[in-house]
Amino acid sequence: MLKKVFKIVILILMVIGICYGISITFKKTLPDKLQKEAENNIFNMIQTKTAEVTNFYTYGRSFNISGKLGNVSKDNFESVKLVVTDGLEFEKSYSLSYRFNENNLEFFSGDSINTAIIIDELEDDFEYYVLLRLKLNNSVNAKYYSFRNLSEHENIEYYTVTKDGINRKAIVDFSNRNHDNKEYSLLTLGMTREENLPEEVYDIVIDAGHGGKDVGEKSGTFTEAGITLEYANLLKQSLEEKGYKVKLTRDDNNSESFTSTNMYSENGRISIACKSKAKLMISFHVNNGAKNLSGFEIYSPSKSDLKFAEMMANKIKEYSNINFSNNKSFKKSDGVYVRNFTNNVIKEYENTANKKGYEPYNLTTETPYLYTIREVGGIATEAYVDGRNTAYDKNEYYNSNQGIECYQIELGYIKTDLEIIKNEKENYIRAITEVIENNY
């Protein structure tokens, strides 16, 4: 009897094993079949003519693109959109800004550099196709165009922010593929699951302003460098408890080497931040100003959606006893500021360049003035420190098409807010952590 039961058990296990093996085989071959079907669908829907990409980059979690499509009549034009599709059931469209230059339709991702295609929202283990959707007045159906890379940049390797211990890798890829003896240029986003981030890649980078020989603002025995480092360490600990992988630009071990001019050196704060490939950067500082100024300020990137900064500002005000700053200069909303170069400052920089004998930088009134915001954002934020001004090292990442979304938090004014800054650390950190967790 026992032998019979044993044989039945063995037989059941064998059947289960065979079924499991078949299911694994099916799971492995099915995606290939679906991928072939998806690719055929794409080739059947796109035009043989391609749209030309003149620039593409990631900024934070957002993928942005700009370029042109020739021979489009302005009089016959109805709309243009950016489309992401898997070639099967998924399709999502994104708004594009555009203008006409003669018969060329020039397009670029919407007005906010941090709200285009949010890569982290795409599911893993899929290849997505990025297309241009053009609708003309005299055509019932829209036309779809693939993209050809005419920029100076190569493909991007991107890692999503850690969620529930899981990361995904996205390859932003321009490639040529053959179909029915015709060669097509395609732009794809290939998503794959990664159990862990590579050792050198981080989710978030935290910058403690000043440090080393540059102590920043001072009041008695308190220095800006000391205050910001304490805040940075607390925020790092809080975010790591939430599962994020966090990098500090400086700590007790490397602060001594910092000066006010070596931020772009190999071991400087900007280089450390950019090497991390983080998506978000928080930079802590303390303000100095007239005695009638008080309160905190969050400085945001220009050309960006300010919602994240506004949420941080409102949450800090809700959780702490610090007030919104009463500073009116560069203010966009309560506690939120955007400081760009002004025409007068641009003229001063041009005069300095002429005196020192180097070509002036190509600055505009949309170029962020604060270097922590500007220089970690690469081409998205018009980073420009390319070594021509020998007072600073070259920022090796100034021309990068992978930018970090950076916010500089001025914790308060050292003359009027020092006691609050000292006593409200936990509430500050709680507020910032909560907003990051809910949005990243």
Q: In Å, how far from its chain's centre is CA 100? A: 28
pLDDT of res. 290: 85
Average pLDDT over residues 306-311: 98
pLDDT of res. 28: 36
Average pLDDT over residues 309-317: 98
Pairwise CA distance, residues 312 & 57, whole Å: 25
Average pLDDT over residues 182-188: 94
Average pLDDT over residues 195-201: 93
pLDDT at 25 over 50: no
269-299 pLDDT, tens digit per residue, is: 999 999 999 999 999 999 998 889 999 999 9
- Establish whether domains 46-194 and 204-439 are of one fold: no
Pairwise CA distance, residues 355 & 1, whole Å: 101
Neighbours of 386 (CB within 10 A): 15
Specify the 3-state DSSP secondary structure of 378.
helix
Pairwise CA distance, residues 414 & 425, whole Å: 15
Pairwise CA distance, residues 224 & 210, whole Å: 7
pLDDT of res. 31: 66
The CATH number given to 46-194 is: 2.60.40
The CATH number given to 204-439 is: 3.40.630.40
Q: How confident is the model at residue 18 (pLDDT cuts 50, 70, 90)?
A: very low
DSSP 81-110: EEEEE-SSS-EEEEEEEEEEETTEEEEEE-
Average pLDDT over residues 328-345: 98
Gap between the terminal Cα atoms of the chain: 61
Q: Which two tokens stand for residue 103?
A: 């018969």
Specify the 3-state DSSP secondary structure of 26.
helix
Pairwise CA distance, residues 72 & 315, whole Å: 47
Average pLDDT over residues 403-425: 97
pLDDT at 152 over 60: yes
Angle at which helices 425-439 and 307-319 pack, to 10 degrees? 140
104-137 pLDDT, tens digit per residue, is: 999 999 789 999 999 999 998 889 999 999 999 9
Q: Can you give the residue ranges of every domain in the chain?
A: 46-194, 204-439
pLDDT of res. 139: 83
Q: How confident is the model at residue 318 (pLDDT cuts 50, 70, 90)?
A: very high
Considering the chain, what is the average pLDDT of its residues?
A: 91
Task: Give pTM, 2 decimals.
Answer: 0.90
pLDDT at 67 over 60: yes
Neighbours of 293 (CB within 10 A): 19
Pairwise CA distance, residues 342 & 300, whole Å: 16
pLDDT of res. 8: 52
pLDDT of res. 111: 81
Annotate 123-190 with three-state secondary structure: CCCEEEEEEEEEEECCCCCCEEECEEECCCCCCEEEECCCECCEEEEEEEEEEEEEECCEEEEEEEEE
Looking at 180-324, which runs of residues are DSSP E strands? 182-194, 204-208, 218-219, 222-223, 246-248, 280-287, 297-299
Query: Of the ranges 17-31, 64-78, 236-250, which one carries the lowest mean pLDDT score?
Result: 17-31
Neighbours of 312 (CB within 10 A): 25
pLDDT of res. 397: 97
For residue 302, what are the contacts with CB-CB under 8 A and spacing of at least 6? 338, 340, 366, 367, 368, 381
pLDDT at 17 over 90: no
Q: Which residue type does 272 have?
A: I
